[in-house]
Structure 1
Amino acid sequence: MKSGTRIQLSLMMFLEFFIWGGWFVTLGTFLGTNLKANGLEIANVFSTQSWGAIIAPFIIGLIADRFFNAEKILGLLHLIGAGLMYMMFKAESVGQFYPYVLVYMILYMPTLALVNSVSFRQMSNPEKEFPSIRIFGTIGWIVAGVLISYVFHWDNEQNNITNDSLRNTFLMTSLASLLLGLFSFTLPKTPPAKTEQGASISQILGLDALKLLKDKNFLIFFIASILICIPLAFYYQNANPFLTAVGLENPTAKMAIGQASEVLFLLLIPFLFNRFGFKNTILIGMLAWTVRYVLFAYGNAGELAFMLIIGIALHGICYDFFFVSGQIYTDAKAGEKYKSSAQGLITLATYGVGMLIGFWVAGFVTEHYKATNPDNVGYWHNVWLVPAAIAAIVSVLFALVFKNDKKVEINA
């Protein structure tokens, strides 16, 4: 790959995930503090991510992949997104905010596939070249958190987040989206591929891979993937509001520790996968969710602040050991015939169905315990014990019914 192309793709990835991390991490805090949203209203807003994930295959598979260059549709979606993000910046109530965030997420989620498509089409050896490009996305997410906490101080108590300072995250993201939208038109041309043009609707939506559910092991993994996304949704929806409420300094930047840990633990997956097998590796990931939420339940911003930091740092194990290992397992089980369809099906099940359920469960649980303890932040203890219990139950059931599959391996 030419060095110029590598720089272009790296900047594309940086901006793509800078945009997501620049507003999504603090969204729960903003909704509750600035727009006075309750738990169910917050759940409704967060669920737009799931609706975006469900609708994304239609946009990419039925429109983008068949009729337009990937870089052009990427640019157009981000330009529209910049306008929607600005309208979110201006919104004064949840009612005004919701339509804009719904349309935005429906348009943003497809861009996650588009940046991968643009990247892969420029690579002769994606297995070796893609990680060094994709890591700039993680860096972008981390930089967004650092800017919010340490440069602009939008989430600090000293700045008093009730003064609407968090609203500026949407303006920052709008400008970044405008920049990526314009920059996308300079990216290498990525026309529709003939194989993509000829794909059926069932292939595009991953429905061909439903045949894999006849395999008992894969069916168990598929169900577990949906269920484990329920505790995952608690983290995305509640972590920043919780850390802010208990008084942890610079919570958004500290949450970026989770993204940094992703990079570290990602390197350990090949070793653990081949050393312990898929079942044990994915069980470590599941149990890490339980440990994380117990740490959140019993930690505080004072002497026990280290428990909160460890809980954040466990994100690498929680995410990589389950989701990345799961993608590898899916790829191996599907084979060449259903490879793309199977990945699409798992994405639809997890980020679509699983997290949609999870956001609403998190909303109901948070609102329930907050109503019983409205005068202080003590209700968070009970809130975190719920996803801890869910993750523990899913882990035990998975351990009991999933059988080791020694045929599934990756190269260390």
Structure 2
Amino acid sequence: MAVAEGALPRDARALPGMLTGRLAALMFMQFFVWGSWQVTLGLVMQTRGIGSLIANAFSVGPIASIVGSFLIGMAAVRYLSPKVLMVVLHLVGGALLFYLPALLTPEGGDTFVLLLLVYSILYMPTVGLANTIALKSFGERVDRFPFVRAFGTIGWIASGLIIGWAGLSADPQIFRVAAVVSVALGLYSVTLPDVAPDAPRGGSVVREVLCVEAFGLMRQRSFLVFIACATLISIPLAMYYAYASAFIGTVGIENVGGTMSIGQMSELAFMFSMPFLYRRFGVKPLLLVGMAAWAVRYALFAIGDGGDSLWAVYLGVALHGVCYDFFFVAGAIYTGTIATPKGVNAQAQGMLTLFTYGVGMLLGSQIGGLLYAQLPATPTVADWQQMWWYPAAAALVIAILFQLTFKDETKGRMA
């Protein structure tokens, strides 16, 4: 039987607080690294004359999510300590980040995209590894995890604010900022709790990597509809990540990194409300509001400019909390609700990542690239506005399809 926390000696009670602080620092640095370069990469590439490669650069993340997160994150972690993998992957990744700015030229653009793919394959598994270290370290006190994970969002916000205030939003040096923190995180990871590798569940590694049991959940019509709509809504999502920074720079906002951080502030505000809202309203209203918010966001971008309608651009960015949390966070909770009774929660979450951050965002990056290719070499605000109507219409159609075809069969249950 667990001993009540209040009955523990004073030193023992202090230890969980110290652990929470250490893991919060881990999450802060983990997402600071990613946010440093991801947010304004499109603007940097457009400024350096390789805007035509933005689609390819933002396709490497989805590819890396599939290759890195599943092969390294799910297979290698069974045989190596998550802590050891964090040290190695962040130190090697940091070295690659230092070299990337030299390749951001028209001559080195293709090599830049290739090396960014290699880096992303190293980085993407560390997101899951950080979660694994935190969850295993807390043991039964998993209720502390949302607080720790929130520091990841704070790290992303901080990176955007620092990049913006330093005037680096359009500068290749964003990668060197990320490199310094990546190396620091690699060294810091040596001090992290030494949690054990995952024990095999009895099936083969290949079955776990391919999420064989989780795919069986799609025999339920409602879950199949959800996965299909989650994949489709990730297509316009990819266009936001790839081209929003370039658009914001075009409308005349100088602090692009800081402006984009407004979206993460909104995300943080809504994150802790998700379990309550899920219990209160159920999954369908939340998912529907999330999808509709994507349509509204892109419509705001389509009417926003550098004049009297600049408010629409800021509001479109600020909608990120609704767009992301109401669909992707609520979707993760819904997936857990469906998968937990079958004992395949981890596989199902991996499968959701595969379809959204993998298949959906890969398609979105390439479709976005085709639309961007129709713009002039130096797009005007009017050119951008015309482009944003396409993802706005797509998100609206997906929301309508979801409303007509999805039936919530989990009312009254909570993962």
The reply to whether TM is greater than 0.5 is yes
Query: For residues 66 and 369 of structure 1, what CA distance do their matches in structure 2 show?
Result: 47
Q: Which residue of 2 aligns with 1:278?
A: 283
Q: Which residue of 2 aligns with 1:167?
A: 172
Task: Report if aligned partners of 1:120, 1:130 keep a CA contact under 8 Å in 2.
Answer: yes
1:269 and 2:269 matched: no
Residue type at the aligned position of 1:360: Q
Task: Report if aligned partners of 1:59, 1:110 keep a CA contact under 8 Å in 2.
Answer: yes
Query: For residues 336 and 199 of structure 2, what CA distance do their matches in structure 1 show?
Result: 22
For residues 126 and 103 of structure 1, do their structure 2 counterparts lie closer, same or farther at Cα, with a shift above 3 Å needed?
A: farther
Shift of residue 284 of structure 1?
0.2
RMSD (Å) for aligned C-alpha atoms: 1.7
For residues 367 and 174 of structure 1, do their structure 2 counterparts lie closer, same or farther at Cα, with a shift above 3 Å needed?
A: same
Query: For residues 289 and 178 of structure 1, what CA distance do their matches in structure 2 show?
Result: 36
Shift of residue 308 of structure 1?
1.1
Shift of residue 87 of structure 1?
1.3
1:367 and 2:373 matched: yes
Residue type at the aligned position of 1:20: W
Taking the TM superposition and a 5 Å limit, the aligned residue runs for 1:188-199 are 188-195=193-200
Residue type at the aligned position of 1:297: A
Q: Which residue of 2 aligns with 1:238?
A: 243
Q: Which residue of 2 aligns with 1:248?
A: 253
Shift of residue 154 of structure 1?
1.8
Residue type at the aligned position of 1:214: R
1:104 and 2:119 matched: yes
Task: Report if aligned partners of 1:66, 1:197 keep a CA contact under 8 Å in 2.
Answer: no
Q: Which residue of 2 aligns with 1:393?
A: 397
1:351 and 2:357 matched: yes
Q: Which residue of 1 aligns with 2:34?
A: 20
Q: Which residue of 1 aligns with 2:16?
A: 2
1:204 and 2:219 matched: no
Task: Report if aligned partners of 2:338, 2:410 keep a CA contact under 8 Å in 1.
Answer: no
Shift of residue 197 of structure 1?
8.3
SS at match of 2:184: helix
Taking the TM superposition and a 5 Å limit, the aligned residue runs for 1:283-362 are 283-336=288-341, 337-362=343-368
What are the Cα deviations for residues 342-395 of structure 1, in whole angstroms up to 9, with x where unaligned? 111111111111100010011111111336xx5633210111111101100000
Task: Report if aligned partners of 2:20, 2:144 keep a CA contact under 8 Å in 1.
Answer: no
Q: TM-score w.r.t. structure 1 length?
A: 0.92
Q: 2:70 aligns with which of 39, 49, 57?
A: 57
Query: For residues 352 and 411 of structure 2, what CA distance do their matches in structure 1 show?
Result: 20
What are the Cα deviations for residues 14-35 of structure 1, in whole angstroms up to 9, with x where unaligned? 110000000111111111111x
For residues 78 and 375 of structure 1, do their structure 2 counterparts lie closer, same or farther at Cα, with a shift above 3 Å needed?
A: closer
Which of 98-107 and 297-306 deviates more? 297-306
Task: Report if aligned partners of 1:286, 1:322 keep a CA contact under 8 Å in 2.
Answer: yes
Query: For residues 82 and 202 of structure 2, what CA distance do their matches in structure 1 show?
Result: 13
Residue type at the aligned position of 1:378: A
Which blocks of at least 5 consecutive residues in structure 2 are unaligned? 1-14
Query: For residues 401 and 117 of structure 1, what CA distance do their matches in structure 2 show?
Result: 35
Query: For residues 354 and 60 of structure 1, what CA distance do their matches in structure 2 show?
Result: 20
Task: Report if aligned partners of 1:277, 1:409 keep a CA contact under 8 Å in 2.
Answer: no
Q: 2:148 aligns with which of 108, 133, 140?
A: 133
Q: Which residue of 1 aligns with 2:11?
A: none
Task: Report if aligned partners of 1:278, 1:405 keep a CA contact under 8 Å in 2.
Answer: no
Q: Which residue of 1 aligns with 2:6?
A: none
Residue type at the aligned position of 1:22: S
Q: Which residue of 1 aligns with 2:60?
A: 48
What are the Cα deviations for residues 197-246 of structure 1, in whole angstroms up to 9, with x where unaligned? 86532123322111111111110001001000001001000110000011
Query: For residues 367 and 238 of structure 1, what CA distance do their matches in structure 2 show?
Result: 12
What are the Cα deviations for residues 251-300 of structure 1, in whole angstroms up to 9, with x where unaligned? 21011111111121123323332333211110000000000000011012
Residue type at the aligned position of 2:194: K
Residue type at the aligned position of 1:48: V
1:84 and 2:96 matched: yes
SS at match of 1:60: helix
Shift of residue 330 of structure 1?
0.7
Q: Which residue of 1 aligns with 2:3?
A: none
Task: Report if aligned partners of 1:71, 1:189 keep a CA contact under 8 Å in 2.
Answer: yes
Shift of residue 131 of structure 1?
1.1
Task: Report if aligned partners of 2:283, 2:334 keep a CA contact under 8 Å in 1.
Answer: yes
Q: Which residue of 2 aligns with 1:380?
A: 384
Q: Which runs of 4+ in 1 moved over 6 A?
A: none
Query: For residues 126 and 296 of structure 1, what CA distance do their matches in structure 2 show?
Result: 42
Percent identical pairs in the alignment equals 39
Which blocks of at least 5 consecutive residues in structure 1 are unaligned? 156-160
Query: For residues 241 and 412 of structure 2, what CA distance do their matches in structure 1 show?
Result: 30
Residue type at the aligned position of 2:349: Q
Task: Report if aligned partners of 1:10, 1:134 keep a CA contact under 8 Å in 2.
Answer: yes
Query: For residues 66 and 388 of structure 1, what CA distance do their matches in structure 2 show?
Result: 42
